[in-house]
């Protein structure tokens, strides 16, 4: 039996966790919108056509913010096509995903959905085929109270109060050759600066996200970030990060080590932001909006066989297995560990398209990755604390010296709770873990939630929607300020402690 020791103290503060770190993403792609959040005529949909089961699960997840409408889609999107009478909205080819967009859902409907779901909107503007004028008009439509052309048009379209969207993305993946209107870093830095100026003149209360690299493997990374920020630093609040992972090689040890790459990616972007801050002698700090992250690889063969120019085709519908849930748990630990600089993050996406929620005609399925996302969003609010981890280590073909145990601790003073999130990467053995907690006084264990399964490839489906689901273990032993707890092999663990009582 392997052993590990974790030291944590109430003074080991990383930073306050912005709840938006548990955000998600809805793009006009596949069945994310049509058949996902919106399914008129279905018995499970409300009077506006929104799936009530999806709304319920979104509220259960406590999703704080949802990025919309893309993604690659936004770089060819005319937002005006999605407002006004439904009968007059055009059907158009979507060049990003080679599908037909019906425009039955637009900004007004999405804001209505977000309010029902109890979430905010992270709105993206088109800086691919369009520019500053269209972005300014969309902001005016959404946020200006009344008395101008676009604000009065919103009122005419049935929304007398402003949408009051406070966070905006300045385009999407503008470094990508696949992107409509892709740009060099100099071109994008210039337009991001100019559009940001206009948008903040119109509404000084908003926050803006500049496009970072599409992934850490881009040939221009991290020079892209440096060049863009040198042009736009004083006018933006965040720079974006995007990264997807998969287990194409069917190597569980290497797969679960890939969050080391995620960690290095974050650290490099933080260093680049601070480098530009120094160059500018600026007093402000640009933080990170990690607004696309997830596992994405299962659906590639099906995508390749898909015929183009369909409406809401079944596209990018990864069916997640147990090992994917472990990876998502590790990714969430990584994000929380960088809560001092990662202020927004979006699990891409929310429903059907590489998503924790899958819909079918008569209901929904909670995919395996639903559970670590649920646990982190529910219990991972408060102050992130650094952990000193003494764990056995291992090497893979890509990574060396990887901890078999990875964990992070969150303290919530308001609730008087401390939560340990941990993954045991060991495929062979369970692990006896001693956690030394300082600065909290007496504490007791409330519960130990675990997600474990002997079949790494186990999935949830209509026939067995609970094949992979959390359970509870013995709560462990508390003695002299130490918690002794057992983490099964290949497991996601949530240990909740009540502070002030033993």
For 296, the 3-state DSSP assignment is coil
pTM (two decimals) = 0.97
Please choose, from the candidates 391, 310, 390, 402, the residue with its C-alpha nearest in 3D space to the C-alpha of residue 100: 310
Q: What is the DSSP string of 362-422?
A: TEEEE-TTHHHHHHHHHH--SEEE--EEE--EE--SS--SEESEEEEEEEETTTTEEEEEE
Lowest mean pLDDT among 13-27, 173-187, 455-469, 487-501: 487-501
Domain residue ranges of the chain, discontinuous segments joined by +? 2-10+385-499, 26-252+283-379
Tokens of 175: 């470094």
Tokens of 67: 């990025």
State the Cα–Cα distance between residues 253 and 258, nearest whole angstrom: 9
State the Cα–Cα distance between residues 123 and 106, nearest whole angstrom: 12
- Residue 259 dihedral angles phi and psi, to the nearest 5°: -70, -15
* pLDDT over 90 (residue 500): no
Please choose, from the candidates 315, 317, 346, 130, the residue with its C-alpha nearest in 3D space to the C-alpha of residue 238: 346
Contact 6/373 with Cβ under 8 angstroms? Answer: no
Summarize the confidence of residues 337-352 as an average pLDDT: 98
* pLDDT over 90 (residue 481): no
Tokens of 430: 């369970």
- Residue 449 dihedral angles phi and psi, to the nearest 5°: -95, 135
Question: Which residues is 295 bridged to in the sheet?
Answer: 245
Please choose, from the candidates 188, 209, 210, the residue with its C-alpha nearest in 3D space to the C-alpha of residue 131: 188
Q: Are strands 120-125 and 167-170 parallel, antiparallel or unpaired?
A: parallel
Q: Which residue matches tokens 């918690």?
A: 483
* pLDDT over 70 (residue 502): no
State the Cα–Cα distance between residues 399 and 385, nearest whole angstrom: 25
98: left (phi over 0), alpha (psi -120 to 50) or beta: left
- Residue 79 dihedral angles phi and psi, to the nearest 5°: -65, -25
What superfamily in CATH does domain 26-252+283-379 come from? Glycosidases (3.20.20.80)
- To the nearest whole number, what is the mean pLDDT of the chain? 97
Please choose, from the candidates 111, 107, 113, the residue with its C-alpha nearest in 3D space to the C-alpha of residue 38: 113
Summarize the confidence of residues 390-403 as an average pLDDT: 97
Tell me the torsion sign for CA atoms 136, 141, 145, 146.
Answer: positive
pLDDT for 403: 98
User: In 47-167, which ranges are continuous DSSP H helix?
Assistant: 52-60, 107-117, 132-143, 149-156
Summarize the confidence of residues 86-93 as an average pLDDT: 97
pLDDT class of 475 with cuts at 50, 70, 90: confident
pLDDT for 501: 58
* pLDDT over 80 (residue 400): yes
Summarize the confidence of residues 469-492 as an average pLDDT: 94
Summarize the confidence of residues 360-373 as an average pLDDT: 97
State the Cα–Cα distance between residues 459 and 471, nearest whole angstrom: 16
Which of the residues are catalytic?
Answer: 173, 292
| Neighbour count for residue 90 (Cβ, 10 Å) | 11
Q: What percent of the chain has pLDDT over 90?
A: 97
User: In 427-496, which ranges are continuous DSSP H helix?
Assistant: none
The CATH number assigned to the domain with range 2-10+385-499 reads 2.60.40.1180
């Amino acid at each position: 039996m392997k052993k590990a020791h974790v030291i944590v103290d109430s003074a080991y503060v990383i930073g306050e966790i912005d709840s938006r770190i548990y955000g998600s993403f809805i793009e006009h792609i596949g069945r994310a919108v049509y058949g996902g959040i919106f399914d008129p005529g279905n018995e499970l949909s409300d009077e506006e056509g929104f799936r009530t089961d999806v709304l319920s699960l979104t509220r259960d997840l406590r999703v704080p913010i949802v990025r919309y409408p893309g993604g690659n889609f936004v770089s060819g999107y005319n937002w005006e096509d999605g407002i006004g009478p439904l009968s007059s909205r055009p059907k158009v080819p979507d060049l990003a995903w080679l599908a037909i967009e019906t425009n039955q859902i637009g900004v007004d409907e999405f804001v209505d959905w977000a309010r029902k779901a109890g979430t905010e909107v992270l709105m993206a503007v088109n800086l691919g085929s369009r520019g500053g004028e269209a972005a300014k008009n969309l902001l005016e439509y959404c946020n200006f109270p009344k008395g101008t052309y676009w604000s009065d048009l919103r009122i005419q379209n049935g929304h007398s109060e402003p949408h009051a969207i406070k966070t905006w993305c300045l385009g999407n993946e503008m470094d990508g050759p696949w992107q409509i209107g892709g740009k060099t870093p100099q071109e994008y830095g210039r337009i991001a600066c100019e559009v940001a100026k206009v948008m903040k003149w119109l509404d000084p209360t908003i926050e803006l996200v500049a496009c970072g690299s599409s992934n850490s493997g881009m040939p221009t990374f991290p020079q892209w970030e440096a060049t863009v920020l040198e042009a736009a630093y004083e006018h933006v609040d965040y720079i974006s990060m995007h990264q997807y992972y998969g287990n194409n090689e069917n190597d569980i040890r290497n797969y679960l080590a890939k969050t080391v790459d995620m960690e290095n990616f974050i650290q490099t972007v933080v260093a680049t932001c601070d480098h530009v801050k120094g160059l500018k002698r600026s007093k402000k700090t640009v933080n990170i909006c990690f607004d696309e992250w997830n596992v994405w690889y299962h659906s590639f063969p099906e995508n390749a066989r898909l015929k183009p120019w369909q409406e809401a085709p079944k596209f990018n519908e990864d069916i997640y297995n147990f090992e994917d849930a472990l990876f998502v748990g590790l990714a969430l630990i990584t994000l929380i560990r960088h809560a001092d600089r990662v202020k927004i993050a979006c699990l891409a996406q929310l429903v059907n398209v590489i998503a924790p929620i899958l819909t079918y005609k008569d209901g929904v399925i909670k995919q395996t990755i639903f559970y670590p996302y649920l646990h982190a969003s529910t219990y991972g609010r408060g102050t992130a604390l650094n952990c000193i981890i003494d764990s056995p280590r291992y090497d893979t073909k890509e990574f060396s010296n990887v901890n078999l145990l990875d964990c992070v601790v969150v303290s919530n003073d308001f609730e008087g709770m401390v939560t340990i999130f941990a993954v045991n990467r060991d495929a062979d053995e369970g692990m006896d873990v001693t956690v030394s907690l300082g600065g909290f006084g007496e504490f007791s264990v409330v519960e130990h939630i675990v997600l474990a399964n002997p079949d790494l490839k186990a999935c949830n489906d209509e026939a067995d929607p609970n094949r992979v689901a959390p359970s509870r273990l013995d709560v462990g032993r508390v003695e002299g300020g130490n918690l002794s707890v057992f983490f099964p092999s290949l497991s996601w663990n949530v240990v909740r402690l009540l502070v002030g009582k033993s």
